[in-house]
Amino acid sequence: MSKLTLDRILQSQGFGTRKWCTELVADGEVSIAGKVIRDSRIAIETDDLEFTVFGESWTYRAHVYIALNKPANFECSRKASHHPGVLTILPEQFNRRDVQPVGRLDHDTTGLLLMSDDGPFIHKQSSPRHHMPKVYVATTHEPVTPDLVAQLLAGVKLHDEPAPLAAVTCRKIDSHRIEIVLEQGKYHQVKRMLAAAGNHCVALRRSQIGMLKLDELGLAEGEWCYLDAAQLALLKPG
Ligand code: URA
């Protein structure tokens, strides 16, 4: 059980500064259980709290854990330069509560991207020590050969990397697609590994992180959802 004043609740959920949130409440824009609340200083139980702002329903969340089916042509960096940032896909409240991508996908890579405002969660998920397998489907320019799969499994030497990097698993899907599972998250890793093995990646999609599968989330490209406890429990090394 934890109680917070309504202005602090709204601020914590990304509705703006405390002053702004106080004004929202005073203007009658905030309701709880169908009742307009005009006093922002009253303390409210946050567990299971549902409220509406400008008629839109929200659930109080101490932290948010989001899965996005990232479309191409969006950047994961906070200061996006050539393409819009992935945060522009989400409601503006998430930007204000400092939601960030967990790791990075290239601007032209599509698929499963986790986002959160929980610092320790982000740190743990992106730490190389966590050995979180990530599954990618790469479309290749040249046909997929047994030699390509063998090289990726054995390890390929990348410029600037002291030791060869190997896929955890790798399998041919069809003539021009492979599924590759990596535990590291080096810069452009899949594309550079394919290039080092003599092929070229023309499209890349992340389909799974840990045991969390994008296809099971039912998200079209550009759609996102909150992850519940059961889905978060899938985010662990298999
Ligand atoms: N490997 C890449 O080359 N790009 C990504 O976006 C992710 C993994």
Confidence at 79, pLDDT banded by 50, 70, 90: confident
Domain range 65-128+212-232, CATH architecture: 2-Layer Sandwich (3.30)
With a CB cutoff of 8 Å and minimum separation 6, the contacts of 34 are: none
- 127-138 residue pLDDT tens: 888 889 999 999
How far is the C-alpha of 199 from the C-alpha of 194, rounded, in Å? 5
CATH architecture of residue range(s) 133-209: 2-Layer Sandwich (3.30)
Per residue, the 3-state secondary structure of the chain, as one string, reads CCEEEHHHHHHHCCCCCHHHHHHHHHCCCEEECCEECCCCCCEEECCCCEEEECCEEEECCCCCEEEEEECCCCECCCCCCCCCEHHHHCCHHHHHCCCEECCCCCCCCEEEEEEECCHHHHHHHHCHHHCCCEEEEEEECCCCCHHHHHHHHHCECCCCCCCCECCCEEEEEECCEEEEEECCCCCCHHHHHHHHCCCCEEEEEEEEECCEEHHHHCCCCCCEEECCHHHHCCCCCC
pLDDT for 78 equals: 76
Ligand 1 atom closest to the Cα of residue 106 is 6
- pLDDT on residue 100: 96
Measured between alpha carbons, how far is 219 from 207 in angstroms, rounded to an integer? 12
CB 190 near ligand 1, within 6 Å: yes
pLDDT at 30 over 70: yes
Identify the active-site residue in 106, 108, 174, 228.
106
Query: Does 214 contact ligand 1 (Cβ within 6 A)?
Result: no
Nearest CA to ligand 1 atom 3: 188
Distance from the CA of 191 to the center of ligand 1, in angstroms? 6
**Which ligand 1 atom sits closest to the C-alpha of 109?**
6
Start-end ranges of CATH 3.30.70.580 in the chain?
A: 65-128+212-232
Residues 112 and 69: beta-carbon distance below 8 Å: yes
Which residues make up the CATH 3.30.70.1560 domain(s) of the chain? 133-209
- Distance (Å, rounded) from C-alpha 138 to C-alpha 120? 30
Smallest CA separation from ligand 1 atom 4, residue? 188
Q: Is 106 a catalytic residue?
A: yes
Q: What percent of the chain has pLDDT over 90?
A: 92
User: Tens of pLDDT along 187-238?
Assistant: 999 999 999 999 999 999 999 999 999 999 999 999 999 999 999 999 987 6
- The alpha carbon of 55 and the centre of ligand 1 are apart by a number of angstroms equal to 40
With 90 as the cut, is the pLDDT of residue 26 above it? yes
**Predicted model pTM:** 0.95
Domain 3-59, what architecture?
Roll (3.10)
Q: Which residues contact 145 (CB under 8 A, 6 or more apart)?
A: none
**Cα of 234 to ligand 1 centre, how many Å?**
22
Asked if residue 138 has its Cβ within 6 Å of ligand 1, the reply is no
Would strands 201-209 and 110-116 be described as parallel, antiparallel, or unpaired?
parallel
Q: Which amino acid makes up residue 150?
A: A
What is the spatial distance between Cα 128 and Cα 6, in angstroms, rounded to a whole number? 39
* Predicted pLDDT at 129: 84
For a ligand 1 pocket test, name from 75, 104, 109, 202 the mutation site with the most ligand atoms within 8 angstroms of its C-beta: 109
Question: In the chain, which segments carry CATH 3.10.290.10?
Answer: 3-59
